[in-house]
Amino acid sequence: MTLRRALFALLLIAAPAVTQDEFAGVDPAPTRADYFVPRLAPTRADKGADVTIVYFFDYQCPACRKLTPEVGNAFDRDHKLRVIYRDTPIFGPRSLAAARLAIASQFQGRHEAFHRALMAEKLPLTDAAIRHAASVAGIDWPRLTRDLAARSKAIDAQIKWNETLSEATGFSGTPAFIVGNRQADGALSATGLTALIADARKAHPAKSKRR
């Protein structure tokens, strides 16, 4: 473990919680709480969720795409999760285009379906490929483009913030996860991800029982 990772691990465990306005300027030194405040990041929130997962990914990342069925399997089997989807498009302009539209898709309640369709679409993610994924996900395309246009600046700011958060952890790329107070840089099987979720629940048993 590098010094930077060790310091971040301490940050996750020990830093005090703070609140922050959703559209405030980007803080160059993220606090622990910043990782768990979605702002405009699409979020799945099950009723009674007792574990939060922060998921960094890129729609053109080969490892992310290969991992998606495993991640989806782990998420589908657990009905007490809060998942924050943090797009970090590091594979070029097509990744960025997909990320911007994926974030906008939450405003018609189709983000998770669009997320999985984009991960399954053939590369490269051309405009036609992205539009095909939207069709598979049941996306209203004209509405999607309107939502993107209306919130373009906020979506771009969100992506920049996601990248700031990822860099602050020292993550080497995508995929990467924060599960409770632990982080995992790299591909995880459904079994591995489920084990991290179980460990997070063991670390806060009182919270789990209350919910």
pLDDT averaged over 10-residue windows placed end to end, the chain, 211 residues:
42 37 54 95 96 97 94 94 98 98 98 98 98 98 98 98 94 93 87 94 66 40
CATH superfamily placement of domain 3-19+28-202: Glutaredoxin (3.40.30.10)
Q: What does the CA dihedral 8, 10, 14, 15 come to, rounded to 10 degrees?
A: -20
Segments in 50-180 forming alpha helices (H): 62-77, 93-104, 111-120, 127-136, 141-150, 152-169
pLDDT for 99: 98
Q: What is the pLDDT of residue 207?
A: 53
Check residue 185 and give its pLDDT: 86
- pTM (two decimals): 0.85
Total H helices, total E strands in the chain: 9, 5
Query: Could you give the CA distance from residue 102 to residue 114 in angstroms, rounded to a whole number?
Result: 7
Report d(CA 138, CA 114) in Å as an integer: 8
Going from N- to C-terminal start, the domains of the chain cover 3-19+28-202
